[in-house]
Structure 1
């Protein structure tokens, strides 16, 4: 299981030119949601998996502080966790870059980066690969586990043959705090003209809440995907896609 966690400058420092742009990175002077996510790993009954947290900074000059911050959160979560939680950050990526360069494989260095959604999603595939994992389970750090059977469900169809096709990837959904999956409850008037959230909710209702459980889908959530080794070792996320990398991967 790989959980990317995005961090930015302290609130008083704001955003500077050249900083990477993410939806909601956590300021360094706040606690964020990562600890809550890691503590909820106690919920799934199946504990036969490793967790790697990817610490992503919005700027080079805060990378060391981000690594230290996330390491502290992992240390705190590990006191009570029944699963092995590891950290992957810029210092670890630097070691991998050095190893590639020492073996004359410099051309691969640009493919492994800790900036941009697609690059970080590719690290979510690369890390399970070097760990020898059969599955990569991608989870976001603002989610919590509530289903005791989550791991069993995540592995239920992956790698199996359904009909005449092998299932190499599955995507799940997540619920809002009120137990619903709809996007935004209170909408501004302009949203009705844009229509994005209305169409998304209609699609969710048509795909998520209908039988059978396993079906082809026109959308996926990057924060709840399971990808088999036979797929993630041959198909990466497109590093040139700055946003919507999960839909592009589909």
Structure 2
């Protein structure tokens, strides 16, 4: 296969920011004047075999977009052995112009450099334009230790199981700073109604004991591989506050497909300390209430498969059941008494009473409306040479301005990691 690696990175004028819009509040951002975690990831990628094109998507405040892209380009210039294209506001503008020329509209909310889902959608559009047949998503706060990481990432992708089921999307898993794949679950009194870590641990412990590939109830967005037959058909949801990776799995199921878990594909996830646990939990409130409402709405659509919480045990089923609003609000209140970030937790509890509920009700149908547009958009922009050339020229211009002594070619599909065509996988797979 010819995978492109896509890495979103989030840059701000300072480390800690107050929440802005629901979808543009991130788990962590890198201050404009700090290198952040991206150099560490790029260093680790240098030893991975079969690396071809890498795309770094730069999300930044509107006032610092150009500076952020230049900063990331300066970091990238220190890794001449890697073929990295930095995509900032200038390149995104070219994508928007081309979509308008093709009569597809602006779609700024759905595809862009603001919000987890929209940013991933931009990565998919660029992969489609450049002619790659698969995408491997990484996060900038990760480290890869396995030289065969990419080989393992595309293992099985585009192939058929013994029962003829195509494998079009797959996820690996993370090791944390303690070298464990388990969540650092906190079985505290204030989490009595919110055992998310415990539920996840029950699921992944079973998955790790199973065959190499099995149907997944979980997705690691920073260790995610998508075949073009998946991403040309389904976009990410730009209206979800966070958890767009798990949401993609639910979308696949609703549209008759699935995602697979590979218990031999892994990396290390080493994020910086969270600036505000309370703010992150506020985003979780928006996320889960939106997800619950979206799943409820999907059951009213005759063209979608029914996905019920019972089919998602032990995780994430319990977080998609009736009563989620009350449970999450009580947890926010309890944490406001026990945790340091008291003000943020109180604001989170307040959001669960009204703001997050209204957001979910107002937006729960929009993803399905966008899905009528996405396949046509991808079909019309596939291998678009006009846009491809314009992006290559824009990227090359920034590269030359940042470091004129070093050339970083922006390629199309690279020499394949896996030259095999669609076939059956007969070993170590769960049907």
State the TM-score, normalizing by the size of structure 2.
0.53
- The reply to whether residue 174 of structure 1 matches residue 177 of structure 2 is no
Tell me the residue number matched to 1:53. 56
Q: Is the 8 A contact 2:96 2:106 kept in 1?
A: no
Distance apart, 1:98 and its partner CA: 2.1
Report the Cα distance in structure 2 between the residues aligned to 1:96 and 1:107, rounded to whole angstroms. Answer: 9
SS for the counterpart of 1:87 is strand
Report the counterpart of residue 64 of structure 1 in structure 2: 66
Structure 2 Cα separation of the partners of residues 185 and 109 of structure 1: 37
**Inter-CA distance 107–42: structure 2 relative to 1 (3 Å threshold):** closer
Shift of 1:24: 0.8
**In 2, distance between residues paired with 1:109 and 1:100?**
10
Aligned to 1:29: 33
Query: Which ranges in structure 2 are unaligned for 5 or more consecutive residues?
Result: 250-431
Q: Matched residues in 2 for 1:212 and 1:104: separation? A: 46
Is the contact between residue 2 and residue 136 of structure 1 (CA under 8 Å) also seen in structure 2?
A: yes
Residue 10 of structure 2 aligns to a residue in which SS?
strand
Give the length in aligned residue pairs.
243
Q: 1:118 to 1:27 in 2, by over 3 A?
A: same
- Report which stretch shifted further, 139-148 or 181-190: 181-190
Q: Does 1:122 align with 2:121?
A: yes
Name the residue aligned to 1:99: 98
The change in CA–CA distance for 1:158 and 1:243 in structure 2 (over 3 A counts) is same
Deviation at 1:192, TM superposition (A): 5.0
* Deviation, structure 1 residue 189: 5.0
Q: Please give the per-residue CA displacement for 1:3-25, whole angstroms capped at 9, x wherever unaligned.
A: 000111224x8447559310111
Residues 119 and 237, structure 1, Cα contact 8 Å, conserved in 2: yes
Alignment of 1:72-91 (within 5 A): 72-76=74-78, 78-79=79-80, 81=81, 83-91=82-90
CA apart distance, 1:188: 5.8
Report the equivalent of 1:197: 197
Alpha carbons 2:185, 2:197 under 8 Å: kept:
no
| In 1, Cα distance between equivalents of 2:125 and 2:20 | 29
1:72 offset after TM fit, Å?
1.0
Aligned to 1:213: 212
Distance 1:186 1:210, change over 3 A: same
CA-based RMSD of the aligned residues comes to: 2.1
Cα distance, 1:161–1:63 mapped onto 2, change above 3 Å: same
Q: What TM-score, normalized by structure 1, do the two folds share?
A: 0.89
* Greater radius of gyration (CA): 2
1:184 aligns with 184
Alpha-carbon spacing, 1:166–1:66, altered in 2? closer, same or farther (3 Å): same
Equivalent residues of 1:9, 1:15 under 8 A apart: no
Query: Which residue matches 2:14?
Result: 10
Alpha-carbon distance between aligned partners in 2 of 1:29 and 1:186, rounded to the nearest angstrom: 34
Shift of 1:45: 2.2
List gaps (5 residues or longer) in structure 1: none
Cα displacement (A) at 1:115 = 0.7
| Paired residues for 1:145-160 under 5 Å | 145-160=144-159
